[in-house]
Structure 1
Amino acid sequence: MNSSRRQFLARTAAGAAVLAAGSFTATTTATANATAAAGAASKTRPTIIALTNATVIDVATGRRTPHQTILISGERIVAVGRPAVPHGATVIDLAGKFVIPGLADMHVHSLGDEHVSPPLYLANGLTTIREMAAPDPALYDWRDRIEAGTLLGPRMIVGSQIIDGDPTLWDPNLLRVLVVADEPTARAAVRQVKAEGADFVKVYSRVSRQSYAAILDEARKVGLTVHGHGPDELNSKEVSNAGQRSIEHIHSLGLSVSTREAEVRRMVRSINVKTGDYNGWFRQMHPIEWIAANTYSPARAADVFGTLRRNNTRVTPTLTMHNVLDQIDYTRLDPALAKYLSEDSIGTYDYVIQNLYGANRTAEEISHQHQMWAWHKRFVRELIDHGVPIMAGTDTGTPYSVPGFALHDELEHLVSAGATPRQALYAATVEPAKFLGMSADLGSVEARKIADLVVLDADPIKDIRNSRRIHSVVTRGRVISPAQRQRMLADVEAAVKAPPTASAIAAGGCCGGHPKR
């Protein structure tokens, strides 16, 4: 491996979180001008925008209502239906188009600099993202500038830096991570991330039972919620009953619905890793997950899933991530999206897949991995059937994922797992709005809601793949036209071809490791 790639991996803490600090670069002149113009436009745009002749989709029911006019004033929808269009309004004819609420990716690790991830999200119809860890304080700055209208991007809810146990799975020299060994350090970590500006606490896999209880208690005291992994020392019912708002991925949940749960829990507790050895933990978890997958208990599932449902604990399955790690041999970069990644990014992805995940496997391991993909999809179907609230999230940062585009992969994976297109869209619109306490503002196309909208050329209820057929996007009342969308994408394409900058943000995904040196 050449020195530039080694440095690249070090900057990103590699693994499934390798997209890259060095991949994305400073803004082009065109992007800078567009951003400045966007801020100015927000003060001068017409009082009323009228989107006419559209078919409006109610994601909660699946109902499509044709020939609708949507009136927008400032950042709010003021009327939907067949209202009179005020004199002087800017009229945009959407005949033949379908309008849905703005989409949300509820598990991302933003990559590059502010001129790459934010425009890629918006160009793909994402008007809200939940940043699942803040490896760089710049993410809080992005969030605040987007909120102030001085940076064009999706609404950002930004988590704390990772809080993990001792030894942590991440190398603190490569990634910002708070290591907690007991109750006092756990409480201090929560107070620290509150002071840093986190919107919520991100808890990780190796936090001890004692530290976990302290994190939940201290978070309540300082007014933060807790989201993240299910810690290895607790089962999913304990995590839900403790008040953790969301559980990310399927790893910990699968262990909790096994007829051999006590045995697999002992196996997890016996895992021995050194600081920074994410790969060691990840590889040791695979055979344990395999046992759990093959001892699934419908009775235990009804009990555990019922607890999650009653407590309104959301699950973000991140099937996009599981698809890559379960099917390493078939993982490829979509050729049409390669232009949004730098050459170094693509080479690093190839290296990670071949050396961190694909190397030294037995035929049995390869077979098990392939079968686990079918299991993970079946598991999501079970969650849906038991009424567990699901949120769409990608774990963007996983090899070959591209910000924004990955959410449409996730929607297709959810449908492949057994969700209806409406249920998949619900997981990316209504459920995130409810989770964030923003149902009065987001999640539907109604009067008084914030005008976060996606205009599509085809019906996504008929075929979820139509979510990709984006005509235009409205973010807080600002219309991004088809031509503007293409300019945004072209600017990103130009940016990733330029030399890297030191200001790019290192990725901090959930499921990776770094090569041993």
Structure 2
Amino acid sequence: MQRRTILTGTALGAAGAAFGLSRPAGAHSGRPARELVAVRGVTVIDAAGGVRRDQTVLVQGDRILDAGPAQRVPASHATTVIDGSGKYLIPGLADMHNHATGIDDTDPELYAVNGVTTARQMSASAEAREWQRQIAAGTRIGPQWSIGSKIIDGAPSLWDGLDPDGSIHQSVAGPGQARAAVRQQQAAGAAFIKTYTRLTRESFLAIADESARAGLPFLGHVPDFVQLTEASDRGMRTVEHLFEIWYDTSAEEDRLRRGVTSVPIAGGDYNGWFNRMQPYEYAAARTYDRRKAERVFRRVARNGTFVTPTLVLHETNDMPERIDRHDPRFRYFSADMIGYWDWALDNLYLPGRTPAQIAQSRDLFQRRLGLTADLAAAGVQLMTGTDLGTTYLMPGFSLHDELALFVRAGLQPIDALAAATLHPARYLGRPDQGVIARGAVADLVLLDADPLHDIRNTTRINSVFVRGRLIGPEARARMLADVEAAARQPKPPAAAPVAYRGCPCHGTARRGTAV
């Protein structure tokens, strides 16, 4: 995940509370309500227990008090009883790859109304830490955030010049600086260490060693100078995106790696690096060796390394011509956000794309779908992530798009749901999340239609429980209306242009375009 620096004339989004966004579902209480809520006669679906029909689920505080057959679990003492007949209850969803943008300040609410109850911030972020504080205080409702370190890259870094104040990246020249960066980020409160693309092999291995010493997971991009298998063997917890996976699985790996490692960059030379890397990536994809890939993926699976494919990111990057500028969901975003998206599409994504390049990138995306299916078939635990911060990706909404792409890639709907529920819980070391069982965290999504029949039914949300707080249909509609109203309000004028660090993520800073 990478972010571009763009100068805008807008200030950062005003606090959600200014628009009444902190009010739904008892968010001012400071803790979940203690009333007993029952969902009676519902079909429960989770990746651990499968499908259980005619169930009653009792929620009290932030926990599931009980869950089981309706005849065993009484609802007579419940303060609130929800008729679950004809409805489907799934665990809360997770977006395991996102970045706070700083333009609109409604991410927590949009995640919540979309049933996303867990989020992972992939770079140090003051915005995400403030949301985390507000949610913990009960003044807002939103997902639980896991917030990582600054992005640790080599020196020179692709980020040099794009992040002039060093607020989201740290360049390291050699193993000593790499180890020091891990210690600094641990002291700053990072939940994990995020590695990046231009780390040398020696620096990457030093990060792996120091992270293990500190008891912190390390994860992110597999650097250009490191094999996927070596990164996994050294304990890399999750691999983000599909860009670097091709090389280990190519029949021409040695030749392509020599080319990749010889690609030079100057500090901040994202455009030049990306343009020179594109032909190698496509060549690796076209020489994909499925037998070799199966061996690689089974090794990754044995090591317990997760993969977050971020297919919605790849779809946006690979096929910008297909972006719908009139998506009705855009009504929940400010003119500043949409204007930035449109500017990026017109100035960074579309210029200079020839018919041959368009055909090639469409072919590459189809290959990415196949790669995702092969990873899953080999036993690699996949997780859903959107790379929120990239142009046209939306908090909450795009997570449902990601689920649909998992199924389009060939996964069964229950496996796609596992990637959004059970697998993130396993990654986080939380056996009480991602399941619907007695004692589990009460993060739940009540659906009006069966997601196993059609994964797109995850968007047919009736109600959401966020750590026990019920957002019923009326409260959910109010929250969406509040967000839409906030999006229409003009932002206060900025005293000076604000640097907005967007999210190129390999795909938008291209063809020599300056950022």
Q: Same fold (TM over 0.5)?
A: yes
Where 2:351 maps in the other structure, the secondary structure is: coil
Task: Write the letter of the residue equivalent to 2:308.
Answer: T
Q: Provide, for residues 179-234 of structure 1, a one-character-per-residue CA deviation record: whole Å limited to 9, x for no partner.
A: 01111211111111111111000111111111111111111222211010111100
Identify the range of structure 1 (257-266 vs 22-31) with the bigger mean alpha-carbon deviation. 22-31
Task: Write the letter of the residue equivalent to 1:78.
Answer: L
1:55 to 43, 47, 68: 43
Where 1:80 maps in the other structure, the secondary structure is: strand
Q: Provide, for residues 320-368 of structure 1, a one-character-per-residue CA deviation record: whole Å limited to 9, x for no partner.
A: 0000111121122352111122223222222222322222234332221
Determine the C-alpha separation between the residues in 2 that align with 1:247 and 1:193: 20
Task: Write the letter of the residue equivalent to 1:353.
Answer: L
Q: Percent identity?
A: 42
Q: Which residue matches 1:230?
A: 222
Q: Provide, for residues 84-108 of structure 1, a one-character-per-residue CA deviation record: whole Å limited to 9, x for no partner.
A: 2253632222222110000011111
> Is contact 2:29-2:138 (8 Å) kept?
no
User: Is residue 2:449 matched to residue 1:458?
Assistant: yes
User: Is residue 2:77 matched to residue 1:90?
Assistant: no
Task: Give the alignment of 1:43-192 within 5 angstroms.
Answer: 45-60=33-48, 62-63=50-51, 65-81=52-68, 82=70, 83-87=73-77, 89-112=79-102, 115-134=105-124, 136-170=125-159, 171-173=162-164, 176-192=168-184
Determine the C-alpha separation between the residues in 2 that align with 1:436 and 1:505: 30
Determine the C-alpha separation between the residues in 2 that align with 1:224 and 1:509: 27
Determine the C-alpha separation between the residues in 1 that align with 2:25 and 2:60: 21
Determine the C-alpha separation between the residues in 2 that align with 1:318 and 1:400: 14
Q: Which residue matches 1:476?
A: 467
Determine the C-alpha separation between the residues in 1 that align with 2:13 and 2:19: 16
The 3 A distance-change label for structure 1 pair 286 and 423 is same
Determine the C-alpha separation between the residues in 2 that align with 1:35 and 1:172: 36
> Is contact 1:456-1:470 (8 Å) kept?
yes
Task: Give the alignment of 1:18-417 within 5 angstroms.
Answer: 22=11, 24-27=13-16, 29-31=18-20, 34=23, 37-40=26-29, 42=31, 45-60=33-48, 62-63=50-51, 65-81=52-68, 82=70, 83-87=73-77, 89-112=79-102, 115-134=105-124, 136-170=125-159, 171-173=162-164, 176-417=168-409
Gaps of 5+ in 2: none
The 3 A distance-change label for structure 1 pair 248 and 383 is same
The 3 A distance-change label for structure 1 pair 477 and 118 is same
> Is contact 1:21-1:506 (8 Å) kept?
no
> Is contact 1:19-1:399 (8 Å) kept?
no
Following superposition, the deviation at residue 464 of structure 1 comes to 0.1
Where 1:42 maps in the other structure, the secondary structure is: coil
Identify the range of structure 1 (302-311 vs 271-280) with the bigger mean alpha-carbon deviation. 271-280
The 3 A distance-change label for structure 1 pair 290 and 113 is closer
Following superposition, the deviation at residue 50 of structure 1 comes to 1.3
Identify the range of structure 1 (506-515 vs 146-155) with the bigger mean alpha-carbon deviation. 506-515
> Is contact 1:219-1:226 (8 Å) kept?
yes
**What's the RMSD between the two structures over aligned residues?**
2.5
Following superposition, the deviation at residue 313 of structure 1 comes to 0.5
Q: Provide, for residues 128-184 of structure 1, a one-character-per-residue CA deviation record: whole Å limited to 9, x for no partner.
A: 0111112x3342232244234343210111111111111111223166210011112
The 3 A distance-change label for structure 1 pair 41 and 50 is farther
Q: Provide, for residues 453-505 of structure 1, a one-character-per-residue CA deviation record: whole Å limited to 9, x for no partner.
A: 00000000110010000001001111011111112112222222233367998
TM-score, scaled to structure 1 = 0.91
Identify the range of structure 1 (143-152 vs 488-497) with the bigger mean alpha-carbon deviation. 143-152
Task: Write the letter of the residue equivalent to 2:216.
Answer: L
> How many residue pairs end up in the alignment?
501
Task: Write the letter of the residue equivalent to 2:46.
Answer: D
Determine the C-alpha separation between the residues in 1 that align with 2:25 and 2:400: 29
Determine the C-alpha separation between the residues in 1 that align with 2:448 and 2:25: 29
Determine the C-alpha separation between the residues in 1 that align with 2:106 and 2:8: 12
Where 1:205 maps in the other structure, the secondary structure is: coil
The 3 A distance-change label for structure 1 pair 33 and 263 is closer
> Is contact 2:67-2:438 (8 Å) kept?
yes
> Is contact 1:23-1:342 (8 Å) kept?
no
TM-score, scaled to structure 2 = 0.91
The 3 A distance-change label for structure 1 pair 349 and 88 is closer
> Is contact 2:8-2:500 (8 Å) kept?
no
Determine the C-alpha separation between the residues in 2 that align with 1:504 and 1:474: 36
Q: Runs of 4+ in structure 1 displaced over 6 angstroms?
A: 18-21, 502-505
Q: Provide, for residues 368-387 of structure 1, a one-character-per-residue CA deviation record: whole Å limited to 9, x for no partner.
A: 11111111111111111211
Where 1:400 maps in the other structure, the secondary structure is: coil
Determine the C-alpha separation between the residues in 2 that align with 1:85 and 1:351: 54
Determine the C-alpha separation between the residues in 2 that align with 1:159 and 1:333: 32
Q: Provide, for residues 110-141 of structure 1, a one-character-per-residue CA deviation record: whole Å limited to 9, x for no partner.
A: 3337840000001100000111112x334223
The 3 A distance-change label for structure 1 pair 33 and 435 is closer
> Is contact 1:390-1:431 (8 Å) kept?
yes
> Is contact 1:244-1:313 (8 Å) kept?
yes
Determine the C-alpha separation between the residues in 1 that align with 2:8 and 2:74: 48
Where 2:198 maps in the other structure, the secondary structure is: coil
Determine the C-alpha separation between the residues in 1 that align with 2:187 and 2:130: 14
